[in-house]
Chain A
Amino acid sequence: MARAVTPRRKLFFTLAAWTVALLIFFPVFWTILTSFKTEASAVATPPQLFTADWTLQNYSDVWARSDYPRFFLNSVIISIGSTLLGLMIAIPAAWSMAFVPGKKTKDLLMWMLSTKMMPAAAVLIPMYLIFQKTGLFDTRIGLVLALMLMNLPVIIWMLYTYFKEIPGEILEAARMDGASLKNEVLYILTPMAVPGIASTMLLNIILAWNEAFWTITLTTVNAAPLSAFIASFSAPQGLFYAKLSAASTMAIAPILIMGWFGQKQLVRGLTFGAVK
């Protein structure tokens, strides 16, 4: 039986939730504020949250110095492309693991996840050479492939978890009604798993958008996304914090807005099956 929530407990948990949320958001808030400060105010000692000399100069400097639309377009193509390609591979894979599991399915799932445990730098040289020799270096398709492969274990695991929640009897009924395998996956399974697929898609777009190691290492000019855009404003001696903050704000704003609008779907998907 559920325990009654007293007003005092409710107030306590509300305050705790707000405190944690503010702590998590504070660095982003600080970055956004810093982007509107002068360079001198940005590094003032002791640090100042607010300043008297707000300015938009950093944004105009960053815009003038960099080809922001090109970096932005690359980020959009790479993150959406790698996510869609990943879903195309992961949906059938997760279907087979969830509904026709073999003896080694659990081992296979663990093995896939173990590839995420290896530090990226460990495969830097082989990846670099492969990309060079195959002409994939500094191309969007190269990064789409790299990020898709990198996030594929996460996509499969998430979809597998959602698919396991769908009663197998429904799929059996569809089969008895004469649905082919393709129709079963496309018209029965996929619509039922839409919340899960949507949250997987959103999460993977965010992961791909924020990925910085490979996107900076495997690009120079043509395919460089917003992670490289931010890196170009990071100075050797820690100078130009205000411009770096402006560049960071411009880079995270699109994904922040997308996350805001998609939060309902994201939370629904992430908590799918949490309570039985």
Chain B
Amino acid sequence: MNMTLRALLGATALLTLAGLASAETTITVATVNNGDMVRMQGLMDDFYAKNPDIKVEWVTLEENVLRQNVTTDIATGGGQYDVMTIGTYEVPIWGKQGWLASLNDLPAEYDAADILPAIAGGLTVDGNLLAAPFYGESSMVMYRKDLMEAAGLTMPDAPTWTDIEAAAKAMTNRDAEINGICLRGKAGWGENMAFLTAMSNSFGARWFDENWVAQFDQPEWKATLDFYLNLMTNYGPAGASNNGFNENLTLFQQGKCGMWIDATVAASFVTGKDSTVADKVGFALAPDNGLGKRGNWLWAWSLAIPSSSQKQDAAKAFINWATNKDYLALVASKEGWANVPPGTRTSLYANPEYQKVSFAKMTLDSINSADPTKPTVKPVPYVGVQFVAIPEFAGMATSVGELFSAALAGQKTADEALAEAQALVVDEMASAGYTK
């Protein structure tokens, strides 16, 4: 073998090795910045050990920016993202457009049947699971057990709105800066309208009738808004029209709220190290009005694959790792069971270790009591508990939220806010072609 031939063979071998090295598939995952997602990024060594041929690049963005970027990308078939973090609002809308790849063919060990039925229902379109839930949440009542006891009251596990009003009245102590109840007032479809839409379900209200006609002129919405405004005016904190999740969390952690009805995910914060009332917090289901529906919502941050992704196999391998039962066990082994992403799998709630977590049962019961396909008492033409899964909803609900927030701030009456909301929604729906 002469030198030239050896050199050629050597070069060929090197090129082959280089080719093997470049067989690594890189996927881009778009996600939001929250505790569970950050934790997952810190556990990627486990994924790489199991999938040495896949590299993950993260694009972390604020929720609204992420929504805009992935919507633009998916609508133009850009294929810049291989895995997207999306909510239960997007899945039905994008699913109908054919923008998401089906996850029905995930491996058997993924055990899709283990996903909580209420969550799976919101992520399935025409029999196809289009997104795998990473964590799920509902809303519930978080209350101060010590203040309830001092007032001589007991919070039922499944309270009514009348119970809530009585408790708020009893716990309010303006001299001690304690507000009986803290609720969202800041305008936004994901802020006050998430709460008020879910609350309205328990009063029998709905956004639209079966023919997409707006329903803000109906007595159920009037009852909802009147009750909310009275409750907040009499027993809520000052400046409540500016309070969202974060502001109320701070108030509750500092002992300034007797009750707070908000996301189940807040349970770990109000019982965590930053809370001054961590050992005094009790949990109850979101209230009802005796009509068979509770005022709790349902949301899941989920991982989905856009149809335009060219790396669907690698993307599915990642989703399988990030949302299966082994991942929950991995988090538990590193961070403890209280930090496991909640609200996705039936088996998690059957786990004796997880059952010891104080808010586990109430979270499960809250999720199970929400039905995105039948959110309220009367029939509706839409899917979604605290939202209506149509593209026009986010803009409309934010505008309506501004009206209701203004009513809370005392700038409008409830009747004025409802009349303006009705006119606004009627116009929008006619413009969008739902009604004439």
Encoded as 1 (CB less than 8 Å from any B CB) or 0, chain A from 221 to 255 comes to 10010001001111111111000000000000000
B332 at the interface (CB under 8 A from A): no
Instruction: Report B49-90 residues with CB < 8 Å from chain A CB.
Output: 57-63, 65, 68-69, 72-73, 75-76, 78, 80-81
Q: Chain B binding site: helix, strand, loop or mixed by DSSP?
A: mixed
With A221-B57, A237-B245, A238-B246 as given contacts, are A231 and B62 in contact (CB-CB < 8 Å)?
A: yes
Encoded as 1 (CB less than 8 Å from any A CB) or 0, chain B from 224 to 266 comes to 0000000000000000000011110011011010000001000
With A235-B34, A237-B245, A238-B245 as given contacts, are A217 and B62 in contact (CB-CB < 8 Å)?
A: no
A129 at the interface (CB under 8 A from B): yes
Contact across chains for A221 and B59 when beta carbons are under 8 A apart: yes
Per the CB 8 Å criterion, the residue count for chain B at the interface is: 36
A207 at the interface (CB under 8 A from B): no
A18 at the interface (CB under 8 A from B): no
Instruction: Report B316-367 residues with CB < 8 Å from chain A CB.
Output: none
Contact across chains for B76 and A129 when beta carbons are under 8 A apart: yes
Contact across chains for A236 and B28 when beta carbons are under 8 A apart: no
Q: How far is the CA of A43 from the CA of B62 in the complex (A)?
A: 18
With A44-B250, A45-B251, A216-B61 as given contacts, are A237 and B34 in contact (CB-CB < 8 Å)?
A: yes
Closest residue of A by beta carbon distance from B244 = A238
Q: Which of A40, A220, A233 contacts B59 (CB 8 A)?
A: A220
With A216-B69, A221-B57, A235-B62 as given contacts, are A125 and B76 in contact (CB-CB < 8 Å)?
A: yes
Closest residue of B by beta carbon distance from A39 = B274
B33 at the interface (CB under 8 A from A): yes
A60 to chain B, nearest CB (A): 14
A132 at the interface (CB under 8 A from B): yes
Q: How far is the CA of A253 from the CA of B256 in the complex (A)?
A: 37
Contact across chains for B254 and A233 when beta carbons are under 8 A apart: no
Q: Which residues of A contact B41 (CB under 8 A)?
A: 65
With A45-B251, A216-B69, A237-B245 as given contacts, are A128 and B78 in contact (CB-CB < 8 Å)?
A: yes
* Interface hub of A217, A224, A235 (most chain B Cβ within 10 A): A235
Contact across chains for A236 and B72 when beta carbons are under 8 A apart: no
Give the size category of A's interface with B.
20 to 34
Q: Which residues of B contact A239 (CB under 8 A)?
A: 34-35, 246
Q: Which of B57, B60, B245 contacts A232 (CB 8 A)?
A: B60
* Interface hub of A232, A234, A237 (most chain B Cβ within 10 A): A237
A93 at the interface (CB under 8 A from B): no
Q: Chain A binding site: helix, strand, loop or mixed by DSSP?
A: loop
Contact across chains for A234 and B250 when beta carbons are under 8 A apart: no
Instruction: Report A116-143 residues with CB < 8 Å from chain B CB.
Output: 124-125, 128-129, 132, 137-138
With A232-B33, A236-B33, A238-B245 as given contacts, are A125 and B62 in contact (CB-CB < 8 Å)?
A: no
Q: Which of A40, A224, A236 contacts B32 (CB 8 A)?
A: A236
Encoded as 1 (CB less than 8 Å from any A CB) or 0, chain B from 202 to 215 comes to 00000000000000
Contact across chains for B61 and A231 when beta carbons are under 8 A apart: yes
Encoded as 1 (CB less than 8 Å from any A CB) or 0, chain B from 4 to 45 comes to 000000000000000000000000101011110010010000
Q: How far is the CA of A233 from the CA of B34 in the complex (A)?
A: 9
With A124-B72, A221-B57, A237-B246 as given contacts, are A137 and B34 in contact (CB-CB < 8 Å)?
A: no
Q: Which of A45, A220, A224, A235 contacts B81 (CB 8 A)?
A: A220
Encoded as 1 (CB less than 8 Å from any B CB) or 0, chain A from 38 to 61 comes to 011001110000000000000000
Contact across chains for A236 and B69 when beta carbons are under 8 A apart: no
Q: Which residues of A contact B30 (CB under 8 A)?
A: 220
Contact across chains for B65 and A43 when beta carbons are under 8 A apart: no
Q: How far is the CA of A44 from the CA of B249 in the complex (A)?
A: 10
Contact across chains for B33 and A234 when beta carbons are under 8 A apart: yes
Q: Which residues of B contact A132 (CB under 8 A)?
A: 76, 78, 80
Contacts from B to A (Cβ < 8 Å): 28, 30, 32-35, 38, 41, 57-63, 65, 68-69, 72-73, 75-76, 78, 80-81, 244-247, 250-251, 253-254, 256, 263, 274
**10 tightest CB-CB pairs across the interface, nearest first?**
A234-B62, A238-B246, A232-B60, A236-B63, A40-B274, A221-B57, A237-B245, A235-B33, A220-B59, A43-B250
Contacts from A to B (Cβ < 8 Å): 39-40, 43-45, 65, 124-125, 128-129, 132, 137-138, 216-217, 220-221, 224, 228, 231-240
Listed by A's residue number, 21 A-B pairs whose Cβ atoms lie within 8 Å are A45-B250, A45-B251, A45-B256, A65-B41, A125-B72, A128-B73, A137-B78, A137-B80, A216-B61, A220-B80, A224-B59, A228-B61, A231-B65, A234-B65, A235-B34, A236-B32, A236-B34, A236-B63, A237-B244, A238-B246, A239-B34
